[in-house]
Amino acid sequence: MWHGIADVVPDRDAIVCGDRRISWAEFDDRAARLASHLWDEGLRPGDKVAIDCTNRPEYLETFLAALKMGGTPVNVNYRYVADEVRYVLDNADAKAVIHDPAFTATVRDAITGLPEDRRPTSLETGEHYEAALTRASPAGAWQERAPDGDDLIFLYTGGTTGMPKGVMWRSDDLYAALWRLARPDMEPPDPIASARAGKRTGICLPACPLMHGTGLNIALSTLSGASTVVLVDRAGLDAELLWSEVERNDVAVLTIVGDAFARPLLAALDAGPRRWDLSCLRAITSSGVTWSPEAKTGLLRHLPNVRLIDALGASEGLMSRTESTAKSEIVPARFSVSDRVKVLDEHTGAEVEPGSGAVGFVGVSGNLPLGYYKDEIKTDATFRLVNGVRYSIPGDYGTVEPDGSITLLGRGSACINTGGEKVYPEEVELILREHPGIFDCVIVGVPDERFGEMVVALVQPTPGTDVDADALDAWSRDRIAGYKRPKRWFLVDSLERSAAGKADHPRLRELASTLLAEG
């Protein structure tokens, strides 16, 4: 599809990143050369290609190159330390990994820790990457294989045990699901014919990482609409730079992750309300974490003609979306029950009646992933056949209001959502217990204005040892990705686990909130 679009609009920008402007013809050519390089390295259809990059053109070039040769692109969280990267590479059976220079040491450590016969080939972006593309031909043996809608795309996300799970999407299903997220009752059109007719979607800037579904999905949708993706190749959030890139590139759609992005962006506008000409902007989309009415109201004060769009979904299934405008009442996002989105009783599978107050699982049907890679148990738990219909039920609880809207109640597990990142307490707790001074610990999430939730550690010290918060924080830095590490540490005499060894998470969250308030 993208190759066909490149034939129709070869000179149009496909990717803009700082001073780099890559046309559709160049995008297609560079991806073809990378596909040839991967083929020459011994990769074949079905092999997995891991991508450990920030938001730079090479991310999308690698994604396309993998699909061209019939391989499977695999996202790697660039915040992961070596052990975490190794887990993903091993679990995905990766045969190659493309990575940024900043992650070379981490990737090298991850690869050398694998058995010799399972070590993927690696290619560093920059000088080595460009040399590989120069040596490779845009035509290769991989072209003898016709593109196939059954080709897979892996999207690694956290599991309830804390270990990442590879969600397996057929490329055709993901394309259709992305189209129907905004147009639930319409069949996707022929994108090449649409491009030939002069149609294109708005220029988009995913402010969130491409390694996450929110950023990747909007990039895929934008490219499939024969348009341009603007990237900011910088880890972390620079609100002033984002607004400058929106202005400089006539961005129509800005994609963020809730208040973790919205509040700094709003603060920049408050500080310089006339600094940027943002008349090009038509919509701001958000998914993955709470986007408060207060932040929306503030943004609409500066951008009264912009639509604010909340998307409800997960890596396991795209569900629904809702819009807010300056003319509408700004309230927490409300999603509606539809033919594809239901709230189901967790015991009987019956639909929850509107206004009944009953709580059920939120499930989505339609175009869904095949399941989790190499995990039948988790697949069967999440992708369920209910009354003859296959649903994705990632674990969100909800109720149905009298008007048919869904009120989300959150995940049934103790998962912490901080700035759009999922943190699973058990994973962090297991690592922290390796410290000799920690006898027991529990990780909880407490409300945080900017990030939604803050990761907090409640630590019961080993008797006779002397530990403090600063020392524990320093010890954890090389062992746990930054977003997973506790932001605050509190030492307690006892966690008062039950006789069965279970922690009382609601009580401990309340205790953590009290300790935070006390300073």
CATH 2.30.38.10 location in the chain: 336-411
Per-residue model confidence as pLDDT tens digits over 473-499:
999 998 899 999 999 999 999 888 643
CATH 3.30.300.30 location in the chain: 416-517
CATH for 2-236 (3.30.70.660, 3.20.20.70, 1.20.120.140, 3.40.50.12780): 3.40.50.12780
Per-residue model confidence as pLDDT tens digits over 415-436:
788 888 877 777 788 788 889 8
- Average pLDDT (487-513) is 80
Structure tokens of 44? 């074949």
List, in order, residues 6 or more apart from 149 with CB less than 8 Å away. Answer: 170, 171, 172
Per-residue model confidence as pLDDT tens digits over 145-159:
888 889 999 999 864
> What CA dihedral angle connects 513, 428, 49 and 256, to 10 degrees?
10
- Average pLDDT (92-117) is 97
CATH 3.40.50.12780 location in the chain: 2-236
CATH superfamily of 416-517: ANL, C-terminal domain (3.30.300.30)
Q: How high is the pLDDT of residue 329?
A: 79
Chain centroid, CA 469 distance in Å: 31
Beta strands 20-23 and 204-206: pairing type?
A: unpaired
pLDDT at 160 over 70: no
Per-residue model confidence as pLDDT tens digits over 337-383:
888 889 999 888 899 999 998 888 899 999 999 999 999 999 999 99
Q: What kind of fold does domain 336-411 have according to CATH?
A: Luciferase; domain 3 (2.30.38)
Q: Is 173 strand, coil or helix? A: helix
pLDDT band per the 50, 70, 90 thresholds, residue 22: very high
Kindly report the pTM of this predicted structure: 0.83
Q: How high is the pLDDT of residue 136?
A: 97
Top mean pLDDT of 184-193, 261-270, 325-334 is at 261-270
Cα 124 from Cα 104, distance rounded (Å): 7
Do 168 and 369 meet the contact criterion of CB atoms below 8 Å apart? yes
List, in order, residues 6 or more apart from 341 with CB less than 8 Å away. Answer: 312, 319, 320, 335, 362, 363, 364, 406
